[in-house]
Every structure is written in C-alpha cells, then in structure tokens.
Amino acid sequence: MSRFATVITRNAPFTALASPREAIRQFTPNWFAVTMGTGILSLALAQLPGNVAVLRDAGEALWFLNVALFALFSVMYASRWLLFF
C-alpha cells in the first residue's frame, strides 16, 4: 500500500469508532451551532439590499438545508438520551 493510501485510510471518517452507534454516543449539543450559523446566513442572504433573485434562492436553499440539519441533529440528540442515559 502506498504511503498516500495509508494516510487516507488511517484518517477516514469513523475509522476510530468501534461501531456507527458510537457516533450517536459521542454526539454533543455543540453541533446545533451549525444550524444557528446556517440559519443566520440564510436570513442574511434574504435580507440583503437589492432584488437579486440568486441570493434569495441561495438563502432559501440554505434555509431548507438548515431545517434538515436541525431535524437530523434533534434525532441524534434524542437517540443519545434514549440509548445512553
């Protein structure tokens, strides 16, 4: 195996976790900061002066992404409480 392949394999996501369930166990509320930042950015894009449709559409797309992230993070955090506390 080449050195580059070794580095990529060693640093691949979730290789340090014993099982996918560990991702839920190690999930923390800090991840909700991602939804705060994404939500602020989506609202700011929609409120920029001028009538630029691309920015409004980008803000709307980010808002939908934010809703999906919030739902995912809420499910993971609730799962953490149900499974590990």
DSSP state of 29: G
Start-end of H helices in the chain: 3-10, 21-25, 32-47, 53-84
Provide the whole-model pTM.
0.77
HSE-CB at 68 with a 13 A cutoff on CA atoms is: 6
pLDDT digits (tens, 9 = 90+) for 21-74: 999 999 999 999 999 999 999 999 989 998 899 999 999 999 999 999 999 999
Q: How many domains does the chain have?
A: 1
Q: Do the domain assignments include residue 68?
A: yes
Tell me if 56 is assigned to some domain. Answer: yes
How many CA atoms are closer than 13 Å to the CA of 9, on its beta-carbon side?
6
Phi-psi region of 28 (alpha: psi -120 to 50; beta: other; left: phi over 0): beta
Domain span holding position 61: 19-84
Q: Is residue 3 part of a domain?
A: no
Residue 41 lies in a domain: yes
Q: Is residue 14 part of a domain?
A: no
